[in-house]
Structure 1
Amino acid sequence: MKFFRQIFLAIKYFWLPIILTSATALTLTACNPTNFKSASAQVPQLVSSILSDPKTFNLALSQESPNIFGLTYIGLVTQNPITGKVEPDLAESWQISDDKLRFTFTLREGLKWSDGQPLTAEDVVFTYNEIYLNEAIPTDTRDGFRIGVSRKLPTVRKLDERQVEFTLPEPFRPFLLNTGTSILPAHALRESIKQKDSEGKPTFLSKWGVDTPTKQIIVNGPYKVERYDTSERVVFRRNPYYWRKDNQGKSQPYIERMVWQIVENTDTSLLQFRSGGLDTVPVTPEYFSLLKVQEKQGNFKIYGNEPGTGTTFVLFNLNKGKRNGKPLVNPVKSRWFNTVEFRQAVAYAIDRKTMINNTYRGLGEPQNSPITVQSPYYLSPKEGLKTYDYNINKAKELLIKAGFKYNQQGQLLDAEANRVRFTLLTNSGNKIREAIGSQIKRDLSKIGMQVDFTPLAWNTYTDKLSNSLDWEASMLGLTGGLEPNDGANVWSPEGGLHMFNQKPQPGQQPIEGREVAPWEAEIGKLYIQAAQEFDEAKVKEIYGETQRITQENLPLIYLVNQLSMSAVRNRFEGIRFSALGGAFWNIHEIKVMN
């Protein structure tokens, strides 16, 4: 649905479910060059940084960024972020039956894994049948392959060593793009699917954690993991068996080594970039003016100046369920959050114009939709999309209409005289989000709400969102792309990232009394219909209706779309920046000039 987007972690843009992002626009930053000075003199390399440690080396179990998988795995097809077209990757070609129910892929000849073993149709069948489509494996990827109202999955079979056939229960418009999902090695992982632990679960669920020796991680992408030092760095080495070659027959990628330094403070990354030894840094609003005047002197260029493809939003926990007899959300607060006028009042009370001018330094645009503006299915405000321009009086009117009232001190009370106070969470270390949270706290105080704004460490934060479900309000971001169905795991009530009313994931404690609102179910149904429809005008109409419903009911209150930009040293040749893929989406083509 795919944390994507100007995300280096999705450097090779391919289909993945939408993922959580720990930054509004997570791109390359860089590390202290002295750590790798001698290595840099020996091989072409790109030194960069990420905001936190990767959580797993098991692609199927990953739900968030930063992750290694954009560099290490590829699928049958890929999407060109410049043209939006689906292009061959592991598959050299494909055929689609007239009834659109059978897709036959022919793999390239001579494909190999990073350990030199052959990559064949058996790996494709294994990846889909035994991992992605296997109900015993808790992977969000499966949500993107559920088809129709029945939510049936395709069947996959091997025709020969190079041919694979997918059979669909009914036509499914996004299917070709979805086959960009990464292929995994059968010879390295099959045994872990068969073996069971003491609880009867596949040992695959504990396979390839971040404590796994990196030599054991078998990949098919442009890079393999060479080293991982916790809280310090991830080092990648060029995969000698990666399939791409240039027109002269030379193996790609050209850059021999990638280094991700783990730097949790973006100010530190900026200082290191300005010192002259770093390769690239995301151009966030607070850094733009400083960097722009230093382009020539610093021997770098700022790429991009268009809206990013991801989203940033505030959401409330709408889950009415209980665990072990205890409500997930305080019932008093749950009544507030589940009142649509309450959510609309919050939307009207957030001054996004001031947010753009102050926090984003003018380098952002108001965001009103879960669908990126680059998508052909985006519904603009001119086409009828509801917006929530700053209006304190309108916010107060809605609250009073919903039964809230004000005391003599201007504090907001509910009908039972409970003071309206809640905690707003986000991830710490992200200066943009921390500034937004502080502004939201001030903005909502103007309508009498008391907001306890609390940034948390990323791991603690995501555990609350996806596991314990112990939270009231939150601010975060999601990756994005051109195809809205990539967000199926957000908008399906059963989806793995349906975070505003999350159902328990496999292995988690059950929830009693969870309710799905009619508008919530309707969005899920419309996403199914859009995937069944092949008339592009009708597809746009259906997705337009989903956007109308989301903006009316506000399960996610969208904030600002930051302009997507990166600064890159001039010694890198072949940069073709795209908001969808970032500066290094075509990493295999990029060269380091002497």
Structure 2
Amino acid sequence: MNISTRHASARWAAALGAAALGAGLLAGCSAGNGGGGGGGGTTKDELYIAVQDDPVCLDPQQVTLTTALNIGRQLVDSLVDQNPETGEIVPWLAKSFEANDNLTEFTFTLRDDVTFSDDSKLTPETVKANFDALAALGSTAALASQYLAGYQGTTVVDASTVKVAFAEPNAQFLQGASTITLGLLSDKSAAMTAEERCQHPVGSGAFVLDSYTSNDSVVVTARKGYDWGSQLRTRKGDAAVKKITFAVTPEPGVRTGGLQTGEFDMILDLPAADEKRFGTDQYEIYARANPGVPHSLVPNTDRPIVSDPAVREAMILATNRAEIKDLTGSSKVPAATGVLSSATPSFLAQKDALAYDLKGAEKLLDDAGWKAGAGGIREKDGTKLSVSVTAFYGQDVLEATQAQLAKAGIDLKINMVTAGDFFGAVASKDFDFLGAGLTRTDPDVLRVMFSSASKARWAVVTDPELDEQLAAQAETADPKARTAILEDVQKHIVEKAYLVPLLEVAQVHASQKGVSGVEFDSSSRIILHDVTVKG
């Protein structure tokens, strides 16, 4: 069956399943009696995965869309890898690596057996071509430009060694080198225009791009002779499955229906409302919080009302994060309890400081002169306690927050915009609050978001002490010493109410029971090299 036919079949079958669910018939079905169980001992060579979004661009170095990152992770390898549980950086394409004392130079010694899917070899010149090209792309490669902030250049030391240099200490670069964003492409791909790279990325990964049909599917096939996987992978050599089809299926009910009928082996972005239905022994659910800054209200303290610390602190106290998780989030990850996600190294839980306390919020506002006014909205000197939040996703999270803040007399207006307008607001600082999270595995994400020296910063705060702390952690190589600084940073941000955490965003996927070996990398992107599928 070709992909277009199978995709149509999946939509048809899932539509029937959705209709049955509406009649109250599907809730008791399982994969076994729906035709898609993991019974039997045969192993399948193909894996069918339903994904929520069209990836648009398949160049892992440029994209920020989660679907594109999940697909792209299968195509490219990285210089190093990071253990998602311990945070340890381990060899991958580089068999060894080191940094100088002030973290401005990073030296990688490469494996000599790595080739790309166009049969070209990995060389130090390849690493240089990739990083130089990424630096030239600038904001077109939004995530990469953050990892390469202060990039001075890459030097070929000898036939197997390359050195990457920065103008300032860059403690997060080594972790950045483990991400898909700094995954390596062949020399020819690195030389392409940004547009060309979107359609034809050539990596050294366990899978090779076979075809991409916009708004329909992406097909990848196993790379023959692949033998340079990260030491974190269990399987050695070629991937177990020979072909993976990512079927673009925007409708959640179609994805879940297709999983239940057996049309799909796996689905990405399982809706929270369906977690209980698929939490049976007929299925596997995979969940991990996104590392970085959780979905939050990010302030512009140059705005008159937002500049009042009592208002910001009251917003923290009046926000019930447990309720927001129950209403809008996954049951598989905890409620937000810090300014970093619990999946981020050096995360500090601040449950007490972020505890819900409506009466405490009301007292803070009373003491600051914000008194009850018409319609339940507080006022001070004729000014209503009304602020806006600009966002391009997560409206349900913001609506839940809006209802909670209203109980304290705070009027939160929601301004949903396009992604382009959101980042335009970030650049122009034309906002009261931003509503979003920032996914990064390294806790240096706090410097990116808060430091006045960061060109990409979101929060608008003026705090020399915080700037000094953020700069210090970026140049500290010792993990324990860096964590100590970062704990002080996290406490400081909460004490000054520079962030209102709302929800830990999770990656939640589901599969038939016969699928095994699905793993997350440290950025919560799926890795499919070790996957096997029983028929």
Normalised to the residue count of structure 1, the TM-score between the two structures is 0.71
Residue 115 of structure 1: how far off its partner (Å): 1.8
Alignment of 1:172-571 (within 5 A): 173-180=171-178, 181-190=182-191, 204=193, 206-208=194-196, 210=198, 214=199, 216-240=200-224, 242-244=226-228, 251-281=237-267, 282-292=269-279, 295-296=280-281, 299-303=282-286, 309-316=291-298, 318=300, 320=302, 334-360=303-329, 363-375=332-344, 377-381=346-350, 387-415=353-381, 417-427=382-392, 433-453=394-414, 455=416, 459=419, 462-466=422-426, 471-481=431-441, 483-485=442-444, 488-495=447-454, 497-501=456-460, 516-518=461-463, 521-561=464-504, 565-571=508-514
Task: Say whether the 8 Å CA contact 1:126–1:186 is kept in structure 2.
Answer: yes
2:102 is the counterpart of 1:159: no
Tell me: CA distance 1:358–1:259, structure 2 relative to 1, closer, same or farther (3 Å).
same
Segments of 5+ residues of structure 1 without an aligned counterpart are 1-29, 147-151, 193-203, 321-333, 502-515
* Consecutive unaligned residues in structure 2, runs of 5 or more: 1-5, 14-35, 37-41
CA, structure 1 residues 312+161, in 2 after alignment: closer, same or farther (shift >3 Å)? same
Counterparts of 1:6-155 in structure 2, within 5 Å, are 34=10, 44-68=45-69, 69-94=72-97, 103-132=106-135, 139-146=142-149, 152-153=150-151, 155=153
What SS does the corresponding residue of 1:346 show, helix, strand or coil? helix
1:276 shift after superposition: 2.3
Give a deviation string over 1:162-184, Cα, whole Å, max 9, x none: 22134566775544434333223
Once residues 407 and 97 of structure 1 are traced to their aligned partners in structure 2, the CA distance between those partners, rounded to angstroms, is 59
Q: 1:454 to 1:175 in 2, by over 3 A?
A: closer
- Counterpart of 1:505 in structure 2 is none
| SS of residue matched to 1:56 | coil
Asked if the contact 2:390–2:416 (Cα under 8 Å) also holds between the matched residues in 1, the reply is yes
Give distance in 2, aligned partners of 1:49 and 1:496: 37
Give the superposed CA RMSD: 4.0
Deviations 1:292-350 (A, max 9, x none): 2xx34xx322345x765454333255175xxxxxxxxxxxxx21123222222222222
Shift of the alpha carbon at 1:51?
3.2
The Cα shift of 1:547 comes to 0.1
CA distance in structure 2 between the aligned counterparts of 1:58 and 1:362, rounded to whole angstroms: 32
Tell me how far apart the structure 1 counterparts of residues 307 and 235 of structure 2 sit (CA, whole Å).
Answer: 60
| Letter of the structure 2 residue corresponding to residue 393 of structure 1 | K
User: Structure 1 residues 363, 153: CA separation in 2 closer, same or farther (over 3 Å shift)?
Assistant: closer
Paired AA for residue 339 in structure 1: D
SS at match of 1:537: helix
Alpha-carbon deviation of 1:290? Answer: 1.7
Taking structure 1 as reference, are residues 120 and 97 closer, same or farther at Cα in structure 2, changes over 3 Å only?
same
Partner Cα separation in structure 1 for residue 216 and residue 151 of structure 2: 41
The SS at the match of 2:340 is: coil
Give the distance between the partners of 2:10 and 2:330, measured in 1 at CA.
Answer: 33
Change (3 A) 1:254 1:137: same
- Cα gap change, 1:98 to 1:452, in 2 (>3 Å): closer
Give the secondary-structure state (helix, strand or coil) at the position aligned to 1:365. coil
Task: Give how far 1:31 is off.
Answer: 6.6
| C-alpha deviation, 1:390, in angstroms | 2.1
Partner Cα distance (1:414, 1:209) in 2: 55
Q: Counterparts of 1:454 and 1:493 in 2: how far apart (Å)? A: 25
Q: Deviation per CA, 1:96-117: give whole Å up to 9, x if none.
A: 6688776442222242222222
**How many Å apart are 1:185 and its aligned residue?**
3.2
User: 1:308·1:579 contact (CA, 8 Å) conserved in 2?
Assistant: no
C-alpha deviation, 1:517, in angstroms: 0.8
Q: Secondary structure at the match of 1:533?
A: coil
1:378 counterpart letter in structure 2: F
TM-score, scaled relative to structure 2: 0.78
* Residue type of the alignment partner of 2:210: E
* Cα displacement string for residues 234-264 of structure 1 (whole angstroms, at most 9, x for unaligned residues): 3333344755379999842232333333333
TM superposition shift of 1:376 = 5.2
Cα pair 2:239 2:530 within 8 Å, conserved: yes
Aligned length: 495
Please say if residues 450 and 459 of structure 2, whose CA atoms lie closer than 8 Å, have aligned partners that are also in contact. Answer: no
CA offsets 1:451-493 (integer angstroms, 9 cap, x no match): 344555x645645555676554443233243x31255432333
Inter-partner Cα distance in structure 1 for 2:356 and 2:9: 45
Residue by residue over 1:1-48, the C-alpha shift from the partner in whole angstroms, topping out at 9 and shown as x without a partner, is xxxxxxxxxxxxxxxxxxxxxxxxxxxxx97664799xx999833322
Aligned equivalents of 1:261, 1:53: Cα separation in 2: 9
- Following superposition, the deviation at residue 582 of structure 1 comes to 5.2
Partner residue, 2:16:
none
Percentage of pairs with the same residue:
17
